Structure 1
Amino acid sequence: MAQDYHHGIRVVEINKGTRPIRTVATAVIGLVATAPNAAAGVAASRLIDFAAVNSGVTYTAATPGTDGNAIRVRYVDPGSASATLGVTVSGSDITVSLATDIDSAITSTAAEVASAVNAETEANALVTATEEGDGSGVVNATGFQNLTGGEDEPFPLDTPVLLTDPLGAQGDAGEEGTLARSLKAISDQAKTLVVVVRVAEGETDEETKTNVIGGVDGTTGKKTGLQALLSAEQTFGVKPRILGAPELDDADVTGALIGVAQKLRGFVYASAGDSATKEDAAMYRENFGAREVMVIWPAFTGWDTATSSTRTLSAVARAMGLRAKLDNEFGWHKTLSNRPVEGVSGISKDVFWDLQDPATDAGYLNSHEVTTLIQRGGYRFWGSRTCSIDPLFAFENYTRSAQVIADTIAEAHLWAVDLPMHPSLVKDIIEGINAKFREWIRRGYLLGGSAWFDAELNTPEVLKAGKLYIDYDYTPVPPLENLMFQQRITDRYLVDFADRVAAA
């Protein structure tokens, strides 16, 4: 308790009132891909040499990466006669105690030092030593010298990597696998944050699928495959919300992605597998019943600079990039449908579409909750439906609105947890939520929304237990999916025809 008596002035801060609520970041892509020839890490190294010819030794870190830059090597003059050459290790420090003759002069050559370091188990676990030339030159004592130049592997397997420039990262992705093509597709649409998880390409499709789906390493506890997306927020402070595994997403992979999406409050864009026809695509969509996934068929085509030829291009990768672009430029309340897609020049299958006729290939696919591709003023996605059987979440933007609102409201109130639950605190929470709803409504993200305190639900027993229920509702903005004009022919404009002639 604060001291009651004080001769002077005290200031007591009273931090009450509503807090501003920041909408969670939505344009963060979670990409799972393969890249067999992605750039490797660079091992740190250091050349320690002297004026004497052939007296140099190059030390190279045993493991590539920036950790090698912490390794240090030094040569020590023992300051005594007839000392023997010895190597000791302390952490990442390697100390070489040089040999001397009966006059206490150093006699160790570069070749002898390199051999001694490589023979010492702990030292050899850190570095490999290579003498310069024949190594016959005698070395001198020197202080600690750090290895330098170590660089981490840009896309280590089963490890989330945050990219702020997906276009610039293509150079490290190599030309094989799906990673480079996916990054190109995304960057064609938008510059956005991308969390990449690279998985190993197996010798068979089944082995690759296992690597993509991943799991948890039984020895280290590390999440692997697409499960590694779950650790991105703790590592980078961003949560992937636009998920996909372009060119790798069969029904099994998509099912696993949906499970991850539900944990992240994310949304999956998935291809219709190997569907050859629109009927196959419609049947493929029946594999899923989740609100967190949109099935897309067919694929795009376009020029591939890696092969200098036209090839099939993933529609999923472009959907992910376009979704991020819409989130940044328009809002999460706008569906993917009917927006131009960049970087493509064709569609892989013939899809008949007519703006005014529902009896088309596109109409059939949309009626079966499959988003398709059309060409009208550029190439576009056509369709806004999820795989949910619940009409409340039939549209892509309905699901994403629910996700964004839930995370925004929850994440914004960490400050309130464990504070004394006075009525003023409850009022501040409610007023803060309503202020956010007013902002969303003004910006067109929602049609309406409000929060309130339910006295019947918050009984004295509930409140005494430290629980508080705040209710809120909202109305998402429906996409204009079916615009109907009613056209009538009439003769009522002929009634005053004679008068109009006379007036003319």
Structure 2
Amino acid sequence: MADLSYHHGVKVVESPDTPSLLRVSRQNVTFVNGTAPDADVAAFPLNYPTLVTSLTQAALLGTAGTLLDDVKTVFGEGGSFVMVNRVEHSDTPAVLEANLIGGAVQRTGLYAALRAKALTGYQPRVIITAGNTGAWIEDGLVSVSLSSQGSNMTEAPVVTATGGGSDPGKVLPTLVAVMGTGADEGKVVRVDIVTPGQKMSEAPVIAFTGGGADEDKTLPAATANVGDVSNGFVSAFNTICPQVRARAYIAGPDTTNAEAVRFRQTVNGGRILIIDPKVLKNVAGVPVTKPVAPVFAGVRARVVASAEGVSGSVSNKIIRTIDGVRRTIQYPDDSNYLNENQISTIINERGGFRTWGSRLAIDDPLWQFDSVRATADMINESLEDLYFLYVDRKFTKYNLKMLVEDGNAGMRVFKNNDDIIDGRVWLSDLNVPALNANGKVFLEVEFEPIGIMEQIGITTHRNILYYQLLLDDVRGAIENGPLTLAA
């Protein structure tokens, strides 16, 4: 609006009430987490996400460790933007896994993805990592339910587990009691599982001892719950991926189809794509096992950069960088079994190895397709960016109108690009004076992402009347002269 103070003459100012233009950030960035002990430390510091856009730059990672191979695979499949996070290597498996998973507070390992955009300007869309992401524990301790918290304890009691059945491979869990504060002082508020144990054919008995010398103390009581237990990579991905609107591609156990399906039951969260089995590459005439996640991540980056775009599926695409798979997946029997249980795989059909399946590990079928989740993420992020410039603008009729019109213009772009079937933006009924006067404005948005044709049904029929057409054709040819009947 105009400056109403005195001014003698003509003064031109530009109106701040301008439309906000739709911007869509790059959607084919892959975050690769792994080791490279011989890397140029200046080019690739530890736990510092670094953008790589060429194999020349990637060569500074050195040949040792996992990162160079994984980056080369992503580029070989058609990727172009890779975000590398280098963690410290260790020959001790437990230490290496801890380094790869990292910490949420320090933003190390996988958690470095949370600061990737701040450091590189790009948000990762698919996250992959070195390490045994398909590990799982059979019949381990899933949780401990407190039936009584106890009271008047001056120190944490010791927690022990006994029993657990007679399986010869049984390992009992180790547990620790956590004391409460404030109103829960003197009580146990939860029992943390230090190690889950394994192969317990029945729930172990949980017992508490100690708890201090107070004569009025009562010890807690708890029940153990046994089941299959996933690994730390999965819980880290379930924490990280929603925050950065990414999906994680991970390998399954790489053993049998049945174990892959059982592993799937330990994974949920809606943003994890499980792939099984691993792949083989010919190295100097010897087949060498290689991770499968970089293959799918590279294919996904290729699809996004193609005419299909974000709404294109990672499934049914020719694979460029492998020479085999660790076990044969027969189409359609094996592949259907895996895909139906939300496990992607690789088939050898129609002239080559193909990615097959794109269902995320989630119990809600509305969000099970990887491309649908990615499309919704793109639109949600683009709307946030679109409306960022409206924050703290004046609450005027013009700005309210532009909020709706700019959003609907964005929906038209996504519709014309075949990302959504349709969508619209409108002012919510939540807009009432009491909230508006407090600086709050509410919009409603609806859209439907373009889905995929995962199953195409064909029904064939016989029709013996075609014989009549054949006879009619022959009779007509005889009558017209081209054919003659033998005397």
TM-score band w.r.t. shorter chain = 0.7 to 0.9
Percent identical pairs in the alignment equals 26
Instruction: Supply the RMSD in Å over aligned alpha carbons.
Output: 1.9
Matched residue, 2:364: 390
Task: Determine which of 344, 355, 362 is the counterpart of 1:371.
Answer: 344
Matched AA of 1:500: D
Alignment of 1:473-492 (within 5 A): 473-492=446-465
Tell me, in whole angstroms, the C-alpha distance in 2 between the residues paired with 1:383 and 1:470: 35
- Give the C-alpha shift of residue 415 in structure 1: 0.8
Change (3 A) 1:309 1:457: same
SS at match of 1:419: coil
Task: Tell whether the 8 Å contact from 1:246 to 1:270 is kept in structure 2 after alignment.
Answer: no
Higher mean alpha-carbon deviation, 172-181 vs 286-295, is at 172-181
Conserved 8 A contact 1:335-1:396: yes
- Say if 1:286 and 1:465 are closer, same or farther in 2 by CA, change over 3 A: same
The CA distance in 1 between the partners of 2:441 and 2:381, in whole Å, is 18
Secondary structure, counterpart of 2:424 in structure 1: strand
**CA deviation map 1:364-398 (0-9, x unaligned):** 11111100111122211100101111111011112
The equivalent residue for 1:426 is: 400
Q: Does 1:161 align with 2:139?
A: no
Q: Find the partner of 2:96 among 205, 208, 211.
A: 208
Give the Å deviation of 1:4.
3.9
TM-score, scaled relative to structure 1: 0.72
Partner of 1:189: 77
Shift of 1:164: 1.6
Number of the residue aligned with 1:357: none
Structure 2 residue aligned with 1:171: 59
What secondary structure does 2:56 align onto? coil
**Does the Cα contact within 8 Å between 2:36 and 2:89 map onto a contact in 1?**
yes
CA distance in 2, matches of 1:168, 1:476: 37
Amino acid at match of 1:296: I
AA aligned opposite 1:260: I
What amino acid does structure 1 have at the position aligned with 2:243?
A: K
The structural deviation recorded for 1:33 is 0.5
Q: CA distance change for structure 1 residues 4 and 200 in 2, over 3 Å: closer, same or farther?
A: closer
The C-alpha deviation readout for 1:338-382, integer Å capped at 9, x for no partner, is: 01111111111121113xxxxx11111111110011112221110
- 2:319 is aligned to 341
Asked whether the 8 Å contact 1:352–1:362 carries over to 2, the reply is: yes
Contact 1:246–1:316 (8 Å) recurs in 2: no
Q: Is the 8 A contact 2:100 2:130 kept in 1?
A: no
Map of 2:252 onto structure 1: 272
Q: Is the 8 A contact 1:247 1:314 kept in 2?
A: no
Shift in Å, 1:247: 4.2
Instruction: Indicate if the aligned counterparts of 1:335 and 1:397 stay in contact, CA closer than 8 A.
Output: yes
2:318 is aligned with 1:317: no
CA drift of 1:494 comes to: 4.2
1:428 partner SS: helix
The residue type paired with residue 346 of structure 1 is G
Which one-letter code corresponds to 1:462 in the other structure?
L
Q: Residue 240 of structure 2 aligns with which residue?
A: 260
Contact 2:116 2:124 in 1 (8 A): yes
Q: How far does residue 211 in structure 1 lie from its aligned partner after superposition?
A: 0.6
Q: Quickly say closer, same or farther: Cα 1:247–1:353, change in 2 above 3 A.
A: farther
CA distance in 2, matches of 1:299, 1:236: 31
Deviation track 1:74-105 (CA, whole Å, cap 9, x = no partner) reads: xxxxxxxxxxxxxxxxxxxxxxxxxxxxxxxx
Whether the 8 Å CA contact 1:178–1:247 is kept in 2: the answer is no
- Where 1:310 maps in the other structure, the secondary structure is strand
Separation in 2 of the partners of 1:400 and 1:244?
Answer: 16
- SS at 2:260 equivalent: helix
- CA positional deviation for 1:270: 0.4
Unaligned runs of 5+ in 1: 41-152, 355-359
What is the CA distance between 1:259 and its match in structure 2?
1.4
Instruction: Give the Cα separation in 2 of the matches to 1:285 and 1:342.
Output: 27
Q: Which runs of no fewer than 5 residues in structure 2 stay unpaired? A: 135-230, 478-487
Amino acid at match of 1:457: L
Alignment partner, residue 129 of structure 2: 245
Range that drifts further, 261-270 or 246-255: 246-255
8 A Cα contact 1:32 1:198, kept in partner: yes
* Contact 1:246–1:317 (8 Å) recurs in 2: no
The equivalent of 1:86 in structure 2 is: none
**What is the Cα deviation at residue 419 of structure 1?**
0.4
Instruction: Write the letter of the residue equivalent to 2:461.
Output: R
Partner of 1:168, secondary structure, is helix
Q: Which residue of 2 aligns with 1:14?
A: 15
Match of 2:409 in 1: 435
CA shift for structure 1 position 154: 2.1
Q: Deviations over 1:290-343 (max 9, x none)?
A: 1111000001111237xx632112110111111111111121111110011111
Pick from 268, 277, 288 the counterpart of residue 267 of structure 2: 288
* Larger radius of gyration between Structure 1 and Structure 2: 1
Q: 1:468 aligns with which of 441, 444, 460?
A: 441
Q: How far has the Cα of 1:497 moved from its partner?
A: 4.9
Range that drifts further, 459-468 or 16-25 = 16-25
